[in-house]
């Protein structure tokens, strides 16, 4: 199911909010994933920013008919420090499940960003193309998402590369110069953001670490379009918040909508 895996990588980049608040803060957001109007998945993320540190976790799973024919779940986390309110990742880990098969891996980064320990099953490494040392550097995908979405602004154009222990993923973000009306903003959580939103596109490309099983099948093709994401102004005073994502492909349109949002101050440390 390479297409689903590719979409998941892009969703990690566009569905996670960034924040530049200095005080400790905990945020939880839940999203529903639909394909051609049918529910197929759920995505949840929780972010804890403290004074000088951060931790972000996510959980994703297939639901509905897709969950019955192809049960899949994934959860992961990134944690590290904050420098000039930008994440400096130290440890990243992922656990995914497909029926009775588990896949677990992790990577630890040094202070200079180099990957100093990669914990990936040897059989997994053998079936992938190698990642050059120059690309085995931070940030991981979650930390990169925090930095990219935190920097989103009208007219912004951003680019970066992440390393998750298995592969290096290159991505590009381009945002419109002006805000647009989010005419179909649903009631509830998404309404917490203003009706005007920042429209951006996100595109991704596998830079290294491709599976030999799918060798020759690039993430880029003529029929694949960039992912569109709308970020509303609302919960965070100095940042935009992802409220809707659309991914178009030859198999139809996948839509991700914000359905729950629970900001809460983190307990003060003693």
Please report, in tens digits, the pLDDT of each residue of the chain (270 residues total): 444 445 555 565 566 655 444 444 788 889 999 998 899 999 999 988 877 899 999 999 999 999 999 999 999 999 999 887 788 999 999 999 988 889 999 999 999 999 999 999 998 889 999 999 999 999 999 998 888 877 888 999 989 999 999 999 998 999 999 988 775 555 545 454 556 888 999 988 899 999 887 665 544 444 567 899 888 876 556 678 888 899 887 888 999 988 888 865 444 444
Q: Identify the three-state secondary structure at position 230.
A: strand
Which residues is 118 bridged to in the sheet?
A: 107
CA 5/CA 203 separation, integer angstroms: 14
CA 184/CA 270 separation, integer angstroms: 45
CA 172/CA 226 separation, integer angstroms: 9
CA 231/CA 182 separation, integer angstroms: 10
Which residues is 107 bridged to in the sheet?
A: 92, 118
DSSP string across 75-135: EEEEEEEEETTEEEEEEEEEEEEETTEEEEEEEEE-TTSBEEEEE--HHHHHTBPPPPGGG
CA 136/CA 107 separation, integer angstroms: 10
pTM for the structure as a whole: 0.84
User: What stretches of the chain show up as alpha helix (H) in DSSP?
Assistant: 2-14, 64-69, 122-126, 141-150
């Amino acid at each position: 199911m390479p297409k689903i895996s590719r979409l998941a990588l892009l969703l990690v980049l566009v569905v996670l909010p960034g924040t530049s608040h200095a005080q400790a803060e905990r945020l939880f957001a839940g999203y529903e994933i639909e394909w051609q109007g049918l529910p197929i998945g759920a995505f949840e993320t929780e972010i804890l920013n403290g004074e000088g540190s951060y931790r972000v976790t996510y959980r994703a799973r297939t639901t509905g008919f897709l969950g019955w024919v192809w049960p899949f779940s994934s959860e992961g986390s990134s944690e590290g420090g904050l420098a000039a309110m930008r994440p400096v990742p130290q440890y990243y880990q992922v656990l995914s499940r497909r029926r009775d098969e588990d896949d677990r891996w992790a990577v630890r980064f040094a202070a200079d960003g180099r990957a100093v320990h990669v914990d990936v099953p040897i059989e997994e490494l053998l079936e992938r193309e190698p990642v050059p040392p120059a690309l085995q550097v931070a940030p991981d995908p979650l930390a990169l998402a925090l930095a990219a979405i935190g920097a989103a602004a009208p007219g912004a154009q951003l680019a970066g590369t992440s390393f998750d222990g298995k592969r290096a993923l290159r991505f590009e973000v381009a945002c419109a110069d002006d805000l647009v009306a989010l005419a179909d903003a649903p009631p509830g959580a998404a309404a917490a953001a203003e009706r005007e939103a920042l429209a951006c596109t996100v595109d991704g490309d596998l830079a290294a670490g491709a599976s030999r099983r799918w060798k020759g099948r690039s993430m880029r093709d003529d029929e694949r379009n960039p992912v569109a994401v709308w970020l509303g102004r609302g919960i965070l005073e100095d940042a935009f918040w992802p409220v809707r994502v659309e991914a178009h492909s030859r198999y139809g349109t996948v839509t991700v909508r914000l359905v729950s949002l629970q900001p809460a101050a983190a307990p003060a440390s003693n």
